[in-house]
Amino acid sequence: KAGVTQTPRYLIKTRGQQVTLSCSPISGHRSVSWYQQTPGQGLQFLFEYFSETQRNKGNFPGRFSGRQFSNSRSEMNVSTLELGDSALYLCASSPGGGSGGGNEQFFGPGTRLTVL
């Protein structure tokens, strides 16, 4: 099985712009989660989508949004970019479903976003 893929791998934007990141989960996985990784804050949970519905959300401003398509692929959008949004954005997929909790999450390589 192919792993989790994320595009693009690297992105440079300027303040005020918006950006869309894409994630393709492992085939058959229905849950996709997004995380932000920065040196100062570490890994922080953004949101999780399951069957095209946002099922869980972290503590991030409304500038961060996402969606999931019927094929389980997911996109994350950040509007009005700020310097502090520079980070590695990681996507993870899992089978999802009712078991929750113990499902292993498989991570993609991440998208490195730099905001100038």
| Contact criterion met (CB below 8 Å) for 66 and 24 | no
* Structure tokens, 39: 């040196």
Q: Which is nearer to another protein, 51 or 80 (CB)?
A: 51
Judged by CB under 8 A, the residue of 19, 78, 92, 115 near another protein is 92
Taking CB under 8 A as the criterion, which residues in 2-21 touch another protein?
4
The count of other CB atoms within 10 Å of the CB of residue 102 is: 6
How many whole angstroms separate alpha carbon 21 and alpha carbon 74?
A: 8
Total chain residues near another protein (CB under 8 A): 31
Sequence-ordered strand ranges (E) for 58-107: 64-68, 74-78, 87-94, 106-107
Taking CB under 8 A as the criterion, which residues in 35-54 touch another protein?
35, 42-45, 47-48, 50
Nearest approach, Cβ of residue 48 and another protein (Å): 5
Taking CB under 8 A as the criterion, which residues in 63-82 touch another protein?
none
> Closest by alpha carbon to 54, among 64, 68, 71?
68
Nearest approach, Cβ of residue 52 and another protein (Å): 15
**Which residue is associated with the tokens 């993609």?**
108
Residue numbers of the site for another protein (CB under 8 A)?
4, 31, 33, 35, 42-45, 47-48, 50, 55-56, 58, 90, 92, 94, 96, 98-110
